[in-house]
Amino acid sequence: MNITIAPGPRTGSIRVPASKSQAHRLLICAALGTHPVRLRLDGRSMDIDATAACLRALGAEIEVQDDALTVSPIRAVPQTPCHLFCGESGSTLRFLLPVCGALGAQAVFHMEGRLPERPLAPLDKQLLAHGMTLRQEGALLYAGGRLTGGAFSLPGSVSSQFVSGLLMALPRVEGESLLTLTDALQSAGYVDMTLDALRLSGVSAEKTPEAFRIPGGQTFSLPEACAVEGDWSSAAFFLCAGAFSARGIRVCGLRADSSQGDRAVLALLRRFGAQVEAHEDGVLVRHGTLRGIRIDAAQIPDLVPALAVTAAGAVGTTVIENAARLRLKESDRLQTTAALLRALGAAVTELPDGLVIEGRGSLSGGTVSAYGDHRIAMSAALAAALAESPVTVTGAESVEKSYPRFWSDLRTLSLSEKSF
């Protein structure tokens, strides 16, 4: 599907969809629990639906309503292998792999897109050392055995999803476990979200500077009704678009005290020079005098595409560093972000772990590919706010992965006078 976006900044108000990161975690905690839980969420996505379908295959019952999912927990896992269709969702795979071990389930994980190429090491070695069996054949991953507790060791710099998966699985095994991190944890906000979900479930996981101590044999017990908060990662594209608009864009449905690491977008927009106003009913971002800045992306890799486009709309040099993990996303996101900006006339240098953008305050326009990556597609829409002529996005359907209504939400915003 191709979509053409009129050039120029926009103004208006947007309510962002539910956080898929929190939805994954609450779905799993509900399925591991003792009673039905109603999860209220504003909008689903392919990734959320993948996790729900996999939990159904493991024995949970999940009823879909317009604005909610009602989860009845897993009582007994099937005795035959469970076929778990993950799509391209790394969270679904990396969270449910150790959870299957904790349940003693035989599972066949079906992976699509680049997911079979994304790393499972060293999580796989830890699972093999603690009672599980694993075998990958192309896009299929066969898992069996039963996960046992004990001493686990992982680097914090490869994927926070490895840590989160074990944090959700180990409370269900027998005996205490100690999960030690061998280097600094990156994307720490996502692990904080997991700890929040565990606390809400009445599950204990003690965090120390270098490890997590997790008692075994615990019971998950979420409240009978929970609301999934708004998604800061999706909001970032509209918040950044507000920085190019004199009248600004208001984004509603966000929690100011969220554990989501991507709420750092507000502080970064202020550093760029945008006007940021937090109100009870949302956040308003308006144009300011935008200047290039230096960004450490270690804790906020998902913001990089939107921030790179924002940098193109600033004046001067922006350096984005510590973002090497983006090469292992739905696309090589450093390469595809650079290609997107170059196609629209920006000056970008690609580094092994980041990007250097020479901002000129505007872009040309033209046709760009989404490269099968939802965040690149949304970045192209953001770039249209800076463009002098229309921007056509090929492969625009990739937004279905995280934000299916993105294009309709974009259309609700009005074209505004230029601020650059």
8 found inside a domain: yes
3-state secondary structure 357-383: EEEECCECCEEEECCCCHHHHHHHHHH
In Å, what is the CA distance from 131 to each residue of 76, 122, 127? Answer: 20, 15, 7
Whether residue 205 sits in one domain with residue 92: yes
Same domain, 267 and 155: no
For residue 245, give the nearest of 212, 285, 305, 196 by alpha carbon.
Answer: 285
Closest CA to 378 of 340, 345, 335: 340
User: Would 410 be classed as within a structural domain?
Assistant: yes
What integer pLDDT is reported at residue 417 of this predicted model? 60
Distance CA 312, CA 386 (A): 8
Q: How far is CA 78 from CA 56, 59, 63, 242, 410, in A?
A: 11, 7, 19, 50, 43
CATH of the domain at 408: 3.65.10.10
Verdict on whether the full-model pTM lies above 0.85:
yes
Are 160 and 265 part of one and the same domain?
no
Whether 202 and 324 share a structural domain: no
* 65 plus 183 within the same structural domain: yes
Q: Which residues of the chain have pLDDT under 50?
A: 419-420
Residues 57 and 124 in one domain: yes
Q: What is the pLDDT of residue 296?
A: 98
Residues 311, 178 within the same domain: no
Shared domain check, 315 and 372: yes
Claim to verify: residue 13 and residue 25 sit in the same structural domain: no
DSSP 3-state assignment of 144?
Answer: strand
Identify the active-site residue in 302, 332, 373, 409. Answer: 302
| Claim to verify: residue 34 and residue 10 sit in the same structural domain | no
Q: Which domain holds residue 283?
A: 2-17+230-415
Give the total number of structural domains in the chain.
2
Within-domain flag for 420: no
- 231 catalytic? Reply is no
278 and 160 within one domain: no
For residues 64 and 6, membership in a common domain is answered with: no
User: Has residue 129 been placed in a domain?
Assistant: yes
Query: Burial of 416 by CB count in 10 Å (0-12 exposed, 13-18 middle, 19+ buried)?
Result: buried
Q: Which two tokens stand for residue 409?
A: 């939400």
> pLDDT (tens digit, 9 = 90+) per residue, 41-57?
999 999 999 999 999 99
Final residue in a domain of this structure, among 172, 192, 227: 227
Dihedral angle of Cα 7, 11, 12, 13, to the nearest 10 degrees: 90
Report d(CA 402, CA 43) in Å as an integer: 10
Secondary structure of residue 101 in the 3-state scheme:
helix
Q: What does the CA dihedral 296, 298, 300, 305 come to, rounded to 10 degrees?
A: 70
CB 8 within 8 A of CB 415: yes
**Could you give the CA distance from residue 390 to residue 167 in angstroms, rounded to a whole number?**
46
Pairing of the two strands 132-137 and 140-145:
antiparallel
SS3 at position 78:
coil
Cα four-point dihedral sign 163, 168, 169, 175:
positive
Radius of gyration of the chain (CA): 21
Burial class (CB in 10 A: 0-12, 13-18, 19+), 322: middle
Residue that terminates a domain, selected from 183, 207, 227? 227
Q: Is residue 358 part of a domain?
A: yes
Q: Which of 164, 193, 227 is the last residue of a domain?
A: 227
Coil/strand/helix, residue 217: coil
pLDDT of residue 419: 45
Residue 325: inside a domain, yes or no?
yes
Closest CA to 304 of 382, 218, 226, 248: 382
